[in-house]
Structure 1
Amino acid sequence: MKSPAYRLQFASFVLAMMADNIEHVISYWVVFQKFHSPALAGFAVLSHWLPFLLFSVAVGALADRFDPRRIIQCGMLLFIVASTGWGILFITDTLTMSAAMVLLVIHGCAGVLWQTPNQLLLYDIVGPAGLPSAVRMNAMARYLGVLVGPAVGGAIMLSLGPSHGIIVNTLFYFPMLIWLFWAPTSEKGAAAKRMAVRGFADIVDTIRAIGPYRVLTSMTLLAGMTSFLVGNAYSAQMPGFAEDLGHGDPGVSYSILLAADAAGALLAGLALEAWGRLKPTARTAILLAILWSLSLLAFATVSHYAAAIVLLFSAGFFELSFNTMAQALVQLNAPVDMRGHVVGLYNMAGLGMRAFSGITVGVAGSAIGIHWSLGLSAGVLLVALLVLYRRATSPV
């Protein structure tokens, strides 16, 4: 935060992340009221994460070839198009299921155009020395958006109504859109290479390229395994956990449980910033992920509400800790001439694979119960992480 450029980036990032969550709050509510379609709700999750699985490496390749600031601006414009589209369809009362699906896909594509280039821009703004701190701060900004967005979205719906409120929400994207015209950037080492963007071939080539780099392969595997097996799918099951814990009104219990997870993540960011002695290493990142899986495994088995809150708080703490450390390690160790490709592959694993956690936790939960599905997923993840830790610590 000593960097004026980073302070502006942080403020605009918080506003854009808040707007992202406000759009979810308003659009999901109206869509539910109009269609009452579980299938459309499932499509909303897939449309949010599948673009990261399909296009993260391609967007990273674009960021190696072109100015990442302009790619982020394209993402902001797509967010504005999506919110405006929702508003127009709400006002005219012409929303159809197919139109909702199109807007959900636009919103998902906007996210993938934002996240990978933004990580590359952080490197340009703060440099290698400040990168771990900047990554943690941006992760905190994401959780601030998750916490504040629903509250602001609810207030906007009550005061302006969903139709006009979601159009007003577009204003929160403009600070990031405008700031990027003046955001600092460095001359990239890849500028002279001007690598072509080749779609699926880029994914294969990037996987081969990181093969000799043990840190890069370990952190990409870490991101993929945690997202595929657990991800954030347990958040969608939180109302069921709250009701099973039998503590008062399920709605209130649900809010408190989600807040515990987010509060733990925020505390992790503040603690790691204040302490500053936990140096990023592959082994430390994997150990933190192991503690995260243990927290979730315990949460899936407890029957006491207070213990569940403590365990979710711990899970949030460890999740932010290992995710931000892994992301920083990937950026610091990525070859200069293909940093965008490598960060894109990491995001493909860490964000794109979340689309499948709805199967491992959600679909399985409908068959065997959410406690068993989360417990089994966390247990399998724990075993996989122990194997990965042994691989990371074994001699080359």
Structure 2
Amino acid sequence: MSAPSTAVRRRFAAAGASLRVRNYRLYFFGQTVSVAGSFMQTLAIAFLTLHLTGSGSALGVAAAARLLPFLLLGPVGGLIADRADKRRLLFFTQTSSAVGSLAFAVLALTGVITYPLVLALSLVLGCLTVVDNPARQSLIAELVGRDTLANAVVLNSVSLNVARVVGSVLGGTLVAAIGTPACFLLNAASFGAVIVGLAAMRTDEIARTPPAPRARGQIRQGLRYAVRTPELAAPLLMLTVTGILAYEFPTTLPLLATGAFHGTAATYGIMAAVMAAGAIVGGFVAAARTTRPGPRALAITCIGWGAVIVLTALAPSVWTACVALVLVGYGSITFNSTAKTTLQLASKPEFRGRVMALWAMAWGGGTVIGAPLVGWVAEQFGSRWGLVVGGVPTIVLGMAMLPYLRRRDRSDGGDAVRSSNA
């Protein structure tokens, strides 16, 4: 066998290293199905909101309502995850979320759904997700060993984007053909994949982290730990800024599709799918790495990601926008997975739930502020500006952080992080 073909096989083997663990395979495929349903529901809520209100600002508020609990209760959700058996906790959150999706379906089918009800149900589902998310993220470390943790984290991001492709295309098609209730019903059914996977896991092969003992001040303790640990603080700062301004695609892309390009839900589904396809490619490239990138790579990725977001905003047609969105997807997963891997590996196990709750607050909770903001900007100045106000600050952030992260890359601390990531 030639050396190039041997190297390619080794790359493929490295990319799927964590999937050799049975419990993680069950987690991976269950999450992929469930998250595909969740993206269908997100799309359905977006177009249901536009149908009910016709307002970009209202769309931003609806997106923010689902994520408001991340901003208000994120550390509480992380502490619950640190204290609980994460597998059992996920049984509860996934089952309850399925019931919430069924409620959306019934209200939409009977025609009694209103914008306030959309906000109320989104808020309830957000409260479940604020506990579900850190439990899911920190469970990964209990399913795989430290040697394959970075690979598992990246593959988890890949599964999210595979799910985005399937969910966006299928959801856009269903909304355009028969309406939003079908998306809600399929999402409710998709939670069954996670529940079955959790039930099938071999519990004796789960390396459970000892539950954090109950004590006063544990939320403040987790916040202090994150702020005083540079390997955690820098990625969290960058995730916060980009989470508020740049990662608002559930708001900006529907407005771009229907505004600048005069399209439909199916147009948005295609745009979201090609962005996710770029993310899948980026995820497999990241998963195949045998060494982890240093801190400087986070700033460089941030700059490149911001640049292609701006290019998307300037695209003259939907097809050129789709080409740019492939690069947007590639940049988003590279940036987020690099930051998330750093957080997973740099955090102590007893703090991991709280640290990953801060990741969710930064990356998702920022939508509470950002979605209404970019929705208002797009409504006032044109749909393209919703992307511009995210892309330009992302470029500036990366350029501002580059000197600091370059110094950390050269310091003993930066060397230690790379060593632990290898």
> Normalising by structure 2, what TM-score?
0.80
Question: 298, 307, 314: which one pairs with 1:301?
Answer: 314
Determine the structure 2 residue equivalent to 1:367. 380
Q: Does 1:171 align with 2:189?
A: yes
Q: Does structure 2 conserve the Cα–Cα contact (< 8 Å) formed by 1:280 and 1:329?
A: no
The one-character-per-residue Cα deviations of 1:19-45 (angstroms, maximum 9, x if unpaired) are 223334455555655x34636534321
Map 1:234-273 → 2, pairs under 5 A:
235-238=250-253, 240-242=255-257, 250-251=263-264, 254-273=268-287
How far off is 1:285 after superposition?
2.2
Given residue 51 of structure 1, which amino acid in structure 2 is its aligned partner?
A: P
Question: 23, 37, 53: which one pairs with 2:41?
Answer: 23
Determine the structure 2 residue equivalent to 1:223. 239
The one-character-per-residue Cα deviations of 1:332-376 (angstroms, maximum 9, x if unpaired) are 110222111111112211111122222443222333334345334
Gaps of 5+ in 1: none
Determine the structure 2 residue equivalent to 1:9. 27
Distance 2:383 2:179 in 1: 35
- Label 1:96 to 1:236 Cα distance change in 2 as closer, same or farther (>3 A): closer
Q: How much is the aligned-residue C-alpha RMSD, in angstroms?
A: 3.0
Determine the structure 1 residue equivalent to 2:106. 88
Determine the structure 2 residue equivalent to 1:49. 67
Question: 321, 328, 334: which one pairs with 1:321?
Answer: 334
Q: Does 1:205 align with 2:221?
A: yes
Determine the structure 2 residue equivalent to 1:132. 150
Distance 1:298 1:329 in 2: 28
**SS of 1:322's equivalent?**
helix
How far off is 1:309 after superposition?
3.0
Q: Does structure 2 conserve the Cα–Cα contact (< 8 Å) formed by 1:27 and 1:86?
A: no
Given residue 187 of structure 1, which amino acid in structure 2 is its aligned partner?
A: R
Determine the structure 2 residue equivalent to 1:276. 289
Q: Does structure 1 conserve the Cα–Cα contact (< 8 Å) formed by 2:31 and 2:194?
A: yes
Q: Does structure 2 conserve the Cα–Cα contact (< 8 Å) formed by 1:62 and 1:197?
A: no
Q: Does structure 2 conserve the Cα–Cα contact (< 8 Å) formed by 1:136 and 1:324?
A: yes
How far off is 1:178 after superposition?
3.5
Number of residue pairs matched? 386
Q: Does structure 1 conserve the Cα–Cα contact (< 8 Å) formed by 2:302 and 2:397?
A: no
Question: 368, 380, 394: which one pairs with 2:393?
Answer: 380
How far off is 1:62 after superposition?
0.9
Determine the structure 2 residue equivalent to 1:356. 369
- Label 1:165 to 1:308 Cα distance change in 2 as closer, same or farther (>3 A): closer
How far off is 1:282 after superposition?
2.1
Given residue 302 of structure 2, which amino acid in structure 1 is its aligned partner?
A: A
Q: Does structure 1 conserve the Cα–Cα contact (< 8 Å) formed by 2:63 and 2:251?
A: no
Determine the structure 1 residue equivalent to 2:213. 194
Distance 1:50 1:30 in 2: 19
Distance 1:223 1:378 in 2: 14
Q: Does structure 2 conserve the Cα–Cα contact (< 8 Å) formed by 1:261 and 1:313?
A: yes
Gaps of 5+ in 2: 1-18, 412-422
Given residue 138 of structure 2, which amino acid in structure 1 is its aligned partner?
A: L
The one-character-per-residue Cα deviations of 1:255-313 (angstroms, maximum 9, x if unpaired) are 4433331111011112233x424514322122212210121123333436554333221
Distance 1:387 1:160 in 2: 48
Given residue 110 of structure 1, which amino acid in structure 2 is its aligned partner?
A: L
- Label 1:316 to 1:338 Cα distance change in 2 as closer, same or farther (>3 A): same
